[in-house]
Amino acid sequence: MMLRAAPILIGVALVSVALAGQWMIGGGASLEGRGGAREVRADAEGDAAVIARTAPRVSAGLVDYHGVEAGVSCMTCHSTREPDRANGLGGALPKTFHQGLAFAHAGMSCLSCHHADDYDSLRLADGRKLAFRDSQQLCAQCHGPQTRDYLNGSHGGMTGYWDKSRGGRVRNACIDCHDPHAPAYPALIPVFAPRDAAARQQAEREQRHHRHE
């Protein structure tokens, strides 16, 4: 038993050392806002699958013995510090651990959604804890119409079966497309530009038109 646990312990120790080192030289580890492992599980109806996430982990930029990216939980640091309840979004957040995050979510503060007593959990509006894997419930508190549409299959991408008696489906969760810290849907570069006569001629005409102007 000890023998099998040994590599893990060694791994954790190494990561801690590495993190501490980075902390000291000020390089900072990056916190992926949508981090955490993906897992597939059945939704409330039990006939479709949704992807949920466990609590995010701070990446050390290293891999462990098993080749898995090494990370530490939020509580590793936050258990040693008092939460700054007055902090607004993005204001004076320690840049080191939370870099790479954009903040644009209706002026909410970190602790609107993150639980001050348990940083490995989320916080519902009434103060109750919520596991990261249930983050959809957090979104649903404010985004009722979207949640309603989502539950009725008319919001959010999916793959699989329309006929639920013949197969399940995999659905995106809110945070697959919407960064919870800046949820506006990102702009995309469209793919597969048409290249038939219509597109060609339209481009030519527009070019002529611009030249005239």
Q: Which residues bind other proteins (CB under 8 A)?
A: 145, 149-150, 152-163, 165-167, 169, 172, 177, 185, 187-199, 201-203, 205, 208-209
- Beta strands 169-171 and 49-53 are parallel
Q: Identity (one letter) of the amino acid at 202?
A: Q
Q: Least distance in Å: CB of 70 to other proteins?
A: 31
Q: Least distance in Å: CB of 179 to other proteins?
A: 14
Q: Least distance in Å: CB of 3 to other proteins?
A: 46
Q: Least distance in Å: CB of 187 to other proteins?
A: 4
Which CB sits closer to other proteins, 81 or 208?
A: 208
Please provide residue 53's backbone torsions phi and psi, each rounded to the nearest 5 degrees: -130, 150
Say how far apart CA 160 and CA 121 lie, in whole Å.
31
Which CB sits closer to other proteins, 114 or 155?
A: 155
Which CB sits closer to other proteins, 26 or 145?
A: 145
Give the residue among 113, 142, 145 at the shortest CA–CA distance from 127.
113
Q: Which two tokens stand for residue 48?
A: 């479709």
Say how far apart CA 87 and CA 23 lie, in whole Å.
22
Which CB sits closer to other proteins, 92 or 187?
A: 187
First to last CA, the chain: 79
